[in-house]
């Protein structure tokens, strides 16, 4: 199959989104969601994982995961805003969101507690936590979703996983899984999915994950899958 043919579903998605925006502006989601109004109270919380002094995984070219997480989160936040959603980013700069702590370990604890406080402070929310994966074997690639043990999380994670495989990772056999041992996901009350966008240990995928084009595609896939999910619930 010619290379470009693999991306046809993605192009259709993007063209649909652009057409929707051009025709209906911030009511595009309403149209995409088959006349379901955008919920006013709902806040989409975009969590850029890690942050200084915790850089997360380090890519095969030496880029910290926290940098790529923030870039993708900023793109996703802007796109969701364009589509009419109320959004909030838990981390807006390079630093993690700790409020106290002298040591790195204590800052990390403070950071996690603060993120939980921010999420649980929203009356009606959905949390999307953006991360990048890493593994000792550079062959592995592809996005993978992890759901929290809260109502709606599993279905959203599966919808996002399908969207990633269909549009960005054709042929991937990765499946969404329940998160285990992730403090943030274990302490929040709203639907939540941790999105591992790809592997920083895979040179080909790492180059894509650093590129603005692929970051835009990821944001687009997440935003479209989320709006479709909300229209079905
Ligand atoms: Zn991470």
Is 50 exceeded by the pLDDT of residue 20? no
Q: Can you tell me which residue has the tokens 């925006």?
A: 21
- The alpha-helical segments, DSSP class H, found in 83-188 are 104-120, 153-167, 183-187
Distance 75 CA to ligand 1 centre (A): 18
Q: Domain limits at 136?
A: 3-231
Cα 221 to ligand 1 centre (Å) = 20
From the CA of 96, how far away is ligand 1's center (Å)? Answer: 12
Angle between helices 8-24 and 212-231 (to 10 degrees): 70
- With a cut of 90, say whether residue 24 has pLDDT above it: no
Distance 121 CA to ligand 1 centre (A): 23
How many folded domains does the chain comprise? 1
211 alpha carbon to ligand 1 midpoint, in Å? 18
Q: For 25-63, what is each residue's pLDDT tens digit?
A: 444 445 455 555 666 789 999 999 999 999 999 999 999
Q: What are phi and psi of 33, to 5 degrees?
A: -95, 25
Cα torsion 18, 24, 30, 31 to 10°: value is -70
Residue 222: per-residue pLDDT: 98
Tell me, in angstroms, the distance from the centre of ligand 1 to residue 91's CA.
14
Which CATH number belongs to the domain containing residue 48 in this structure? 3.40.630.40
The model's pLDDT over 155-177, given as tens digits with 9 standing for 90+, comes to: 999 999 999 999 999 999 999 99
Unique residue bearing structure tokens 């590129």 = 211
- Distance (Å) from CA 129 to ligand 1 centroid: 9
Please, what is the average pLDDT of the chain?
Answer: 89
User: Rounded to whole angstroms, how far apart are CA atoms 44 and 24?
Assistant: 21
Q: For residue 166, report the distance from its CA to the centre of ligand 1, in Å.
A: 23
Mean pLDDT over 142-149 rounds to 98
């Amino acid at each position: 199959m010619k290379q470009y043919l693999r991306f046809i579903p993605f192009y259709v998605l993007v063209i649909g989104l652009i057409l929707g925006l051009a025709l209906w502006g911030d009511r595009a989601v309403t149209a995409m969601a088959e006349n379901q109004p955008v919920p006013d109270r709902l806040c989409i919380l975009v969590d850029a994982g890690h942050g200084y002094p915790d850089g997360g995984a380090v890519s095969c070219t030496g880029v910290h995961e926290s940098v790529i997480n923030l870039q993708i989160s900023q793109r996703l936040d802007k796109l969701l805003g364009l589509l009419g959603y109320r959004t909030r980013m838990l981390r807006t700069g390079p630093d993690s969101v700790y409020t106290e702590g002298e040591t790195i370990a204590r800052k990390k604890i403070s950071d996690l507690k603060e993120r939980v406080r921010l999420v649980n402070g929203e009356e009606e929310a959905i949390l999307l936590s953006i991360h990048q994966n890493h593994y000792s074997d550079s062959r592995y690639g592809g996005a993978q979703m992890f759901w929290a043990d809260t109502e709606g999380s599993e279905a959203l994670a599966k919808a996002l996983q399908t969207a990633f495989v269909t549009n960005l990772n054709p042929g991937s056999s990765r499946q969404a899984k329940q998160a285990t041992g992730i403090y943030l996901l274990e302490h929040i009350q709203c639907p939540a999915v941790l999105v591992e966008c790809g592997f920083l240990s895979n040179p080909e995928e790492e180059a894509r994950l650093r590129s603005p084009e692929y970051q835009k595609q990821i944001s687009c896939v997440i935003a479209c899958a989320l709006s479709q999910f909300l229209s079905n619930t």
